[in-house]
């Protein structure tokens, strides 16, 4: 017995969604302004009723498809392409839709899971804000309403159950006066003026000479033909009144049982809450020392974490220093390798030895030439010396020459 009232009490919150209904009404009006029946609807996507996005449809996939296609069409109205495909996963479509709306500056606080249903508050709020944004971008403005200049008001409908004799004479007179005020005909006014002018000042009480029994029979004969059959119209106020009275009777009939069930449910829920509070107090009393140990361990963990962060920072600094020293070491190694390669290189020594050998060879050639020149010079001096002696000693020239020749 206690489970049934709970199920019934949860139903009105799902069915009577006033906010979503109001938003869906405005959504339909804005869609009509954008002429979606001609530009969007086709054989598959028919025009939607006033509460299409409020309640779940018999085919949820078709409802979700209608919602996504409508969003894509609205984005195309302002030259924005949707970044999801027709056959993508519903979760991906909902996530990409929220991202696209956020990029356009439309703030929506709806989880993607609620959009998969294709109906509800989230879907209505997204469509409402997107339609307002599209109308603003397209330059549409709501103007002041213009009321047509209607003629005289229609005559009030007559109750079909009412009879002629059921109305008082005073009410009939009052109604006639109001009719005269509301419906004035110039021809009737003229006729009335003529009749008054003909009668003059004769104003008396009219007396009927008809037998009352005959009058009563005539009334009974004509009364059925005077009844007016009012057509059943959903907008007629009497139908609304009868419907309201029937709803009131239904509510008054169901209210006592419902109130009794709700009171029982309230008592059961109060007992359950009391049990939950007692269990919670018991658990808190039993696990208080464990909670204290947990807090102590949490404090120790925070201190260890802080120490670890400090040591980690020191290690990072040392690693930076090591990296700097390693780079300097690499530079020194490169310089040492360059210098060792220049020291062990024997090419200059070989060049020096070759130059020294070439110098010795050139020196020997010069020595040979010097010796040849010295020998030639000595021969020239030896040939010149006898001539000088003859010039100095003319008498001994021939003998010396002979001796020289002999020698």
One DSSP character per residue, 50-90 reads TTTTTS--S-HHHHHHHHHHHHHHHHHHTT---SS-TTS-H
Q: Which pLDDT belongs to residue 363? A: 93
Helices 60-77 + 121-137 axis angle, to 10: 20
Angle in degrees, 0-180, between the axes of helices 18-33 and 121-137, rounded to the nearest 10: 30
Q: Which residue has the tokens 């009723």?
A: 49
Q: Which residues contact 215 (CB under 8 A, 6 or more apart)?
A: 208
134 is written with which tokens?
Answer: 């599209």
pLDDT of res. 406? 45
Number of other residues whose CB lies within 10 A of the CB of residue 72: 17
Rounded to whole angstroms, the Cα distance separating 259 from 182 reads: 51
**Sign of the CA dihedral running 129, 131, 132, 138:** positive
Q: Residue 199 has which token pair?
A: 């009668």
CA 13, chain centre distance (Å):
28
Count the neighbouring beta carbons within 10 Å of the beta carbon of residue 233.
10
pLDDT value of position 173: 43
Residues of the chain with pLDDT under 50: 1-14, 152-156, 160, 162-186, 200-201, 398-407
pLDDT recorded at residue 218:
86
- Of 244, 253, 266, nearest to 9 by C-alpha is 266
Angle between helices 237-286 and 3-15 (to 10 degrees): 120
Token output for 16: 């009577």
| pTM of the predicted structure, to 2 decimals | 0.35
CB 130 within 8 A of CB 36: no
């Amino acid at each position: 017995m206690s489970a049934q009232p709970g199920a019934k009490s949860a139903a009105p919150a799902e069915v009577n969604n006033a906010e979503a209904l109001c938003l869906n009404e405005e959504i339909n009006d804005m869609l009509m302004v954008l002429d979606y029946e001609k530009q969007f609807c086709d054989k598959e996507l028919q025009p939607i009723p006033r509460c299409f996005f409020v309640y779940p449809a018999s085919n949820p996939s078709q409802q979700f498809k209608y919602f996504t296609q409508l969003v894509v069409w609205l984005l195309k109205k302002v030259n924005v392409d949707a970044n999801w495909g027709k056959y993508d996963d519903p979760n991906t479509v909902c996530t990409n839709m929220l991202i696209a709306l956020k990029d356009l500056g439309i703030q929506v606080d709806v989880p993607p899971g609620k959009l998969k249903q294709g109906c509800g508050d989230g879907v209505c709020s997204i469509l409402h804000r997107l339609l307002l944004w599209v109308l603003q971008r397209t330059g549409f403005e709501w103007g002041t309403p213009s009321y047509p200049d209607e003629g005289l008001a229609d005559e009030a409908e007559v109750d079909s159950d009412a009879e002629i004799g059921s109305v008082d004479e005073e009410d009939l007179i009052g109604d006639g006066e109001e009719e005269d005020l509301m419906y004035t005909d110039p021809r009737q006014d003229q006729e009335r003026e003529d009749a008054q002018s003909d009668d003059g000042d004769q104003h008396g009480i009219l007396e009927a000479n008809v037998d009352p029994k005959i009058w009563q029979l005539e009334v009974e004969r004509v009364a059925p033909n005077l009844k007016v059959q009012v057509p059943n119209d959903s907008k007629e106020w009497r139908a609304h009144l009868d419907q309201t009275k029937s709803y009131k009777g239904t509510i008054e009939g169901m209210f006592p049982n419902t109130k009794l069930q709700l009171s029982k449910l309230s008592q059961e829920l109060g007992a359950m809450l009391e049990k939950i509070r007692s269990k919670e107090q018991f658990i808190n009393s039993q696990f208080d020392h464990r909670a204290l140990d947990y807090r102590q361990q949490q404090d120790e963990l925070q201190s260890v974490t802080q120490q670890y962060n400090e040591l980690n920072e020191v290690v990072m600094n040392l690693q930076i220093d090591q990296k700097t020293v390693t780079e300097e070491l690499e530079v020194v190694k490169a310089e040492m390798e360059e210098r060792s390669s220049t020291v062990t290189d024997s090419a200059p020594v070989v060049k020096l030895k070759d130059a020294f050998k070439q110098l010795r060879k050139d020196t020997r050639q010069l020595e040979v030439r010097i010796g040849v020149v010295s020998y030639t010079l000595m021969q020239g001096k030896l040939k010149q010396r006898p001539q000088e002696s003859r010039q100095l000693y003319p008498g001994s020239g021939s003998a010396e020459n002979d001796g020289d020749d002999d020698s």
